[in-house]
Structure 1
Amino acid sequence: MPRAAIIGAGIAGTATAIGLTRAGWHVTLHERATHPETSGAAHGMWPTAITALDQLGVGDAARAIATPQRAGAVRRPDGTLLARLDAERITRHPGDHVRLIARRDLAHLLGTALPAETIRYGSALQGSADDLARGRIDLEPGGTALADVVVVADGVFSAHRTALLGQRYGARYTGQSALRGRVAVVTHEVSETWGPGRRFGVTPYLDGTTNWYASLDAPRGQRAAGGEVALLRELFAGWHDPIGRVLDALTEDGVMHHDLYDVHPHLPTYVAGRAVLVGDAAHGMTPDLGRGACEALVDAVTLTRCLTDVGGHPRTGDVDGALARYDRLRRRPTQRLQSLARGLGRMAHARRFAGARDLLLRVAR
């Protein structure tokens, strides 16, 4: 039985582990953290991601815990409508929905779809670029393992990407920070509101709570001396309903704050020998299109398909060719999305020519 060693038990790594396990590979999933992830806000699952979850055998379970998103709006701080977004119109088929799933729920769903012994928490993998490319990995605190494929899924700050491709390809700070959370406030519209150098978004859940997020131009690492809640209430004071109600419901321990990074420049390849990059390690992007987790899932099923022969068995005779095919299928599409996401983020935060931007959006709606 061919062996795959996966580095990182986030969405990309866990989904890949499910796919390869179902395809007959012996999989070990190594995660440096000592326990499963329980934090995070929410992910918008586009139809391509739901299809990927179907192919992993968990699509129906995902639908059961998801909130469909059929329409949304982009507004100005005073509530003026700039653009109306119909989720079905921008998907391939009528009836397709974008669905909102809490990150912790998605992580739990994927993790429980694997045999219990697959995920090894507190397991850090090491290895030189040559070792990783040959499938040789060093285990901490000791030991060595050999694999037919090493899947690098350790996120946007991937040390293994650096080892394989060099220091030039790293995580780039975008100049924006994101704050997000979930509050017990009823809202009725998916909306994103654009202001100079900042924006605020809300997405309702079926249970009557609301996922919210804000982004703002800020130096890397900067945090509010008086607390995040006070900062948010100051920056978004007077913005249209329901933003005020969401702000009133915030508590300091319910606000997550992360600087936003993407992978830059675009990688010349997602493959180095028998090592292959998936998810944010390959194409970390800003959340502006809501596609990061979606593309990680598509990576997982695409890699699985490439590593499976027409009879549904592990492809062992031409692993190098299979990985090259994965690279051809995934690198350019995901890198286009990286560029689009970063461009949209800059446009949403525009300080100069914001009036012209707003006019174009209103004319185009």
Structure 2
Amino acid sequence: MPAPRAVVIGGGIGGLTAAAALHHQGWTVTVLERAAALEPAGAGIALAANALRALDTFGAGDAVRALSGWQADGGLRLPSGRWLSRTSNEAAARRFGGPVVVAHRADLVAVLASRLPEGAVRTGSPAVLADPGGPGRPARVTTPGGELEADLVVAADGIHSATRALLFPGHPGPVYAGFTVWRVVVPRPAEPFPAHETWGRGMIWGTIPLHDGRVYAYAQANAPAGGRSPDGELNELRRRYGGWHHPVPAILAAADPAAVLRNDVHHATTPLPAHHRGRVVLLGDAAHPMTPNLGQGGCQAIEDGAVLGLLLAGAGDLGRALPAYTAQRLPRTTEVVRRSARIGRLVSLSAPPAVALRTAALGAANLFGPRVVLRSHDGIADWHPPVHPYASQTKARTREAL
């Protein structure tokens, strides 16, 4: 009996995770990536313990843990440099059962792609869902090289997912969150510094060391949608953040103007009615775009892919597995989207009285130690992959339900 076949639309972190998880469970997988190469944005990504445990389900967790660069203290600061709260990766590991790994996205993509057989990823291959399929009928995907049939299609085509729009045409889709973000990776400054996130009036800056001697920096500021700096985004960052504490000025001085990324932030204010339809599942930003304020966008995409792989172990039973995928992922990701949006609104405060109250509250919370600072991730970073009573049984199933 031939292995069941999955087609993954999108070769980002979520799509590659789903492909690797399904391949680990015996599926034949084809990943269709629009770009000419797997060249992710030149930025970092924070992977909390929940994402690492998801990666463990198909053997990639330890390789990603080896990419960690942040091992020491860090915390929350004001633009003047004053510390509002302190924490550490050790405290996070104690509370959630594992550390936070901050890695370059390109390194994470390389680890995920290495879990796939040669030829599984087709770059320069845009794909469009032609038919979501159904009982007794495969799904069909159109590509420049012809049409592909599949037992399962995984739509990981991003925040502006065309697949989501086809499956749920009445859904309003993501909306602008009211702020934009910048990201850049630079060489580490000579003068040492602790990892930090700094909150100003409607603005934040974060700096985290990477394992290879570089630094990942990110910024967020309230701004109209679609805005761009007339003299370049690096100059915009220097105007906004050039007077903030060390190492912000040093990072801005070392940054390559061409390497600064700027993206408006969109998120889902209305959850989808389901994360599947027919033989198609949505994951990552295609299913639940969120603000970056909990650092869970990539983590939830990784969870999606791992859970899908577990539910479809062996041939799998799509008749039960895909509704189970929606039942597990929809409530959880909806809650993470909402919690991240609440943090985003708190960060976006700009009126002086509101900012003063926020500063006082954060300073008071620090008196109770790092456990209070980490509490915002309770119920998120402590997630463990599910174990289903029928998961092991599906290995013995045939493709009768496909």
2:340 counterpart of 1:341: yes
Matches within 5 A, 1:245-284: 245-284=250-289
Q: Which residue of 2 aligns with 1:136?
A: 139
2:177 counterpart of 1:178: no
Q: Distance in 1 between matches of 2:72 and 2:302?
A: 21
Could you tell which deviates more after superposition, 148-157 or 160-169?
Answer: 160-169
Q: CA deviation at 1:126?
A: 2.1
Q: Which residue of 2 aligns with 1:292?
A: 297
Relative to the length of structure 2, the TM-score reads 0.84
The 8 Å contact of residues 180 and 223 in structure 2, kept in 1 or not, is answered as: yes
AA in 2 matched with 1:301? A
Q: What is the percent sequence identity of the aligned residues?
A: 36
Runs of 4+ in 1 over 4 A off after TM superposition: 90-95, 128-134
Could you tell which deviates more after superposition, 152-161 or 239-248?
Answer: 239-248
Q: Which residue of 1 aligns with 2:161?
A: 158
- Gap runs ≥5 in structure 2: 367-402
The 8 Å contact of residues 224 and 231 in structure 1, kept in 2 or not, is answered as: yes
Q: Distance in 2 between matches of 1:284 and 1:166?
A: 17
**Paired residue secondary structure (2:273):** coil
Q: Deviations over 1:252-300 (max 9, x none)?
A: 1121111111233111110112111111111111111111111111111
Q: Which residue of 2 aligns with 1:244?
A: 249
Q: CA deviation at 1:341?
A: 1.2
**Paired residue secondary structure (2:305):** helix
AA in 2 matched with 1:344? I
* RMSD (Å), alpha carbons: 2.0
Q: Distance in 1 between matches of 2:88 and 2:188?
A: 23
Q: CA deviation at 1:207?
A: 3.7
Q: Deviations over 1:322-357 (max 9, x none)?
A: 111111111111111111112111211211211111
Flag the 1:110–1:253 CA change in 2: closer, same or farther, 3 A: same
Matches within 5 A, 1:318-357: 318-352=317-351, 353-357=354-358
Q: Distance in 2 between matches of 1:164 and 1:292?
A: 22
The 8 Å contact of residues 34 and 126 in structure 2, kept in 1 or not, is answered as: yes
**Paired residue secondary structure (2:118):** coil
AA in 1 matched with 2:193? H
Q: Distance in 2 between matches of 1:337 and 1:91?
A: 20
Q: Deviations over 1:156-184 (max 9, x none)?
A: 11010010011524121111111111111
Please, which of 79, 82, 97 is the counterpart of residue 77 of structure 1? Answer: 79
**Paired residue secondary structure (1:175):** strand
Q: Distance in 2 between matches of 1:62 and 1:194?
A: 29
AA in 2 matched with 1:175? G
Q: Which residue of 1 aligns with 2:201?
A: 196
Matches within 5 A, 1:82-231: 82-91=84-93, 93=95, 96-128=98-130, 130-131=132-133, 135-141=138-144, 143-186=146-189, 187-231=192-236
Q: CA deviation at 1:131?
A: 4.8
Q: Distance in 1 between matches of 2:73 and 2:334?
A: 27
Flag the 1:292–1:328 CA change in 2: closer, same or farther, 3 A: same
Flag the 1:132–1:252 CA change in 2: closer, same or farther, 3 A: farther
Flag the 1:223–1:19 CA change in 2: closer, same or farther, 3 A: same
**Paired residue secondary structure (1:260):** strand
Q: Distance in 1 between matches of 2:119 and 2:32?
A: 11
**Paired residue secondary structure (1:27):** strand
Count the aligned residue pairs.
359
Q: Distance in 2 between matches of 1:327 and 1:195?
A: 38
**Paired residue secondary structure (1:35):** coil
Relative to the length of structure 1, the TM-score reads 0.92
Q: Distance in 1 between matches of 2:145 and 2:134?
A: 16
Q: Which residue of 1 aligns with 2:47?
A: 45
The 8 Å contact of residues 139 and 152 in structure 2, kept in 1 or not, is answered as: no
Q: Which residue of 1 aligns with 2:374?
A: none
Q: Distance in 1 between matches of 2:239 and 2:95?
A: 42
- Gap runs ≥5 in structure 1: none
AA in 2 matched with 1:138? V
The 8 Å contact of residues 123 and 139 in structure 1, kept in 2 or not, is answered as: no
Flag the 1:282–1:363 CA change in 2: closer, same or farther, 3 A: same
**Paired residue secondary structure (2:174):** strand
Q: Which residue of 2 aligns with 1:303?
A: 308
Q: Deviations over 1:87-128 (max 9, x none)?
A: 444456576210111001111111122111111122222235
Flag the 1:266–1:240 CA change in 2: closer, same or farther, 3 A: same
Q: Distance in 1 between matches of 2:118 and 2:214?
A: 32
AA in 2 matched with 1:150? V
Q: Distance in 2 between matches of 1:16 and 1:72?
A: 32
Q: Distance in 2 between matches of 1:15 and 1:293?
A: 10
Q: Which residue of 1 aligns with 2:396?
A: none
AA in 2 matched with 1:340? R
**Paired residue secondary structure (1:264):** coil
